[in-house]
Structure 1
Amino acid sequence: MKHRWIQMDIAKGIGILMIVYGHSWFVANSLELQYPIIASFILPLFFFLSGVFFKPEQPFVEMAVRKADGLLKPFFFTMLVYVIVRDVLRGQPLLPDIGGVLYASVDTIPWQALWFLPHFWVAILFSWVMLRLIQRLKLSLPVSCLLMVLQLLIGIWILPWFWQVPVSIGGQTWVVPGLPFGLEITLISSTYFICGYLLRDWLRRHEGSWLALVISVALFAAVFLGSHATMDLAQRRYDHWLWTSLLAV
């Protein structure tokens, strides 16, 4: 019987519960407290934990197809069936909504919470490329972490470039709803994913303690109360390169 990594099982369980709670009425009506607190770490936690169990030694095409089967197929099937049925019943034109689903940005789909699925697929593919590069160059853990810091900073810098930007084409002005599949978020999301993979051996040796928990909560509270920084990658929000990152960590 395969040995279970109990700490990671607990962490994944907590993450799932926090994601469900984060989309609840309670958080939606607490935009000044609960929303910024939960949003500051929940997606980084999910990407980090996913990276811990990632296997970059698998062939790229095989991995991409398998992940597409688990992420893209249910997303596009569900979204396309929904918009087709909805538009037929309402007598609305189909093409704009189908195009929005294929674009797969948070502002182009009716069920916005599902924006995460196509973006997660892109983040995994990019993380594979970066991890294979790190392995090919035989970078040490400190150097790899510095590379991730640089990647994160670049990702924060380019984050607003494609979000709600007016573009004029043929005399008409359009507002860009981000890039397809949330591509401009990839440098940020994959940073946490890759860090999960890089730190997986350290995590296996790490032994938690109540003291560490208390210190972590105290530091989180101090940074949050002092900065009120948070993130919302769906809305391309990353308040501060340092404080937001510290809260996520």
Structure 2
Amino acid sequence: MVTSKKIEWIDIAKGIGILLVVYGHCQPPLVVNKFIYAFHMPLFFFISGYLFSRRKKEFKPFLNGKIKRLLVPYFVFSILSIPIQYLRFRMGEIDSFTFREMFFGLFNLDGTVIFNRPIWFLMAMFVSLLLFYFVSRLPVAGQIISALAGAGIAIFVSAQHVRLPFGIDVALLAFIFIVIGYQSKPFISKIENSKLQSKILMLLLSVAVTFIFSQMHNRNRMGSVDIDNWLYFYIASFSGILMTLVVSWMINTSRVLRYLGVKSLAIMVNHFYVLSFFGIVLIVTGYKEFLFVNYPGMTSLLYFAVYLICMIPAIWIYDFIENAANSILYERKLPSFNATFKKV
């Protein structure tokens, strides 16, 4: 059983992860970008595996819960992203905007989420958790074999330069993180309770390994299964996950990071809107190209700061839209704007 103490560090780990997601989309320097992309998305799949419980034996409630939690936000915010994408097209920030792109992107039919790209995560997580619902009933060896088989299929499909619909290839690639996260519960408990000196040593080693292997390959985009060295990818991913967990255990009293972790799904979805609108503002004022050419590092921090300033109202709006969508779909009373604000 997962205790409240564990939940706290899990939320902190998610808080760290989601900050890295946002900053990674602010076009940081290449060295930083490679480091972040080495592990920030695998971390969320690992945590989902860690939190997975076999106590929920009935498939229908499990499926309905994942639809409500993952698919409803995916489709609602994909649709809401279409006018923003059109505006970006009209402003010259993107090259094309066609009905085919809109239809295929909305349903992720060719493995690409055109509108609000970060939410590829929602579809991939949905597919991978459904798969693990059945695989979790296998013995440990069966789960490991299934995870390796999934990774093998994802690697093979990627080598053919083919994308699978509904994020299936990404789900297969990420499946091993869910399995390892699920199986690591007793080991994580031991590491969490280890001495501070041991944690510091693990932190230093994991930072070094993550940094070295993240810099040793040029393409590492989990969402598009565009990875040029799979061995380096998995080494850096697991090392980065360990690094994040150790940091979370060492700062497990951070209320800010805990809050960000609790709201990580909202941030995952809504930061696209804030960054896109700010990019449009810079285009209109004529500053975007100037800033990125002359001050790339400072500009990425500027984007990040703008999102942090807008984060709370963005989360508030996300919560209201999500609650309203679920109320309509599940025939409940439409929530009031004030009631949603009080929950933030």
TM > 0.5? yes
Aligned counterpart, 1:183 = 168
Which residue of 1 is the match for residue 220 of structure 2?
231
Q: Deviations over 1:172-199 (max 9, x none)?
A: xxxxxx2222112222111101211111
| Counterpart for residue 14 of structure 1 | 16
* Within-5 A mapping of 1:61-72: 61-72=60-71
1:139 is the counterpart of 2:140: yes
User: For residues 197 and 229 of structure 1, do their structure 2 counterparts lie closer, same or farther at Cα, with a shift above 3 Å needed?
Assistant: farther
Q: State the shift of 1:52 in Å.
A: 0.7
* Structure 1 SS opposite 2:4: coil
- Aligned Cα root-mean-square deviation (Å): 2.9
Q: 2: distance between equivalents of 1:70 and 1:222?
A: 36
1:193-213 CA-partner distances (Å, limit 9, x unpaired): 121111112112213511111
Letter in 1 for 2:35: I
Q: Residues of 2 paired with 1:230 and 1:162: CA distance?
A: 14
- Secondary structure class of the residue paired with 2:5: coil
The answer for the alignment partner of 2:179 in structure 1 is 194
Aligned AA (1:228): H
Q: Which residue of 2 aligns with 1:119?
A: 124
CA contact (8 A) 1:229 1:244 kept: no
In structure 2, do the counterparts of structure 1 residues 233 and 105 end up closer, same or farther at CA, with 3 Å as the change threshold? farther
3-state SS, counterpart of residue 75 of structure 1: helix
Sequence identity (%): 25
Partners of 1:153 and 1:241 within 8 A in 2: no
> How far is 1:108 from its partner?
4.7
User: Is the 8 Å Cα contact of residues 84 and 94 (structure 1) preserved in structure 2?
Assistant: no
In the alignment, does 2:202 pair up with 1:212? yes
Give the 3 Å change call, closer, same or farther, for CA 220–139 of structure 1 in structure 2: closer
Match of 2:51 in 1: 53
**Counterpart residue type for residue 246 of structure 1:** I
- TM-score under structure 2 length normalisation: 0.56
Tell me if structure 2 keeps the 8 A contact 1:162–1:184.
no
Residues 155 and 187, structure 1, Cα contact 8 Å, conserved in 2: yes
Residues 79-98 of structure 1 aligned to structure 2 (within 5 Å): 79-83=78-82, 97-98=102-103
Measure the CA separation in 1 of the matches of 2:11 and 2:98.
45
Alpha-carbon shift at residue 42 of structure 1 (Å): 0.8
* TM-fit CA distance, 1:45: 0.8
User: Could you say which residue in structure 1 is the equivalent of 2:5?
Assistant: 4
- Cα distance in structure 1, aligned partners of 2:205 and 2:101: 51
Letter in 2 for 1:101: L
| CA–CA distance in structure 2, aligned partners of residues 81 and 150 of structure 1 | 36
Shift in CA distance, 99/218, structure 1 to aligned 2, threshold 3 Å: closer
Partner of 1:23: 25
Residue aligned with 1:57, SS: coil
| Cα shift readout 1:5-29 (whole Å, capped 9, x = no counterpart) | 143232222112111211224x2xx
Structure 1 distance, partners of 2:213, 2:14, is 24
Structure-2 separation of matches of 1:231 and 1:94: 29
- Partner Cα distance (2:170, 2:158) in 1: 7
* Shift, 1:247, TM fit: 0.7
**2:232 aligned to which of 243, 246, 249:** 243
Aligned mates of 1:17, 1:51 — CA distance in 2: 21
Residue 203 of structure 1 is matched in structure 2 by 188
The answer to whether the 8 Å contact 2:102/2:114 transfers is: yes
The letter of the residue matching 1:192 is F
Gaps in structure 2 of 5+ consecutive residues: 91-96, 239-344
Q: What residue in structure 2 maps to residue 221 of structure 1?
A: 211
Kept in 1: contact 2:135–2:146 (CA 8 A)? no
TM-score (norm 1): 0.75
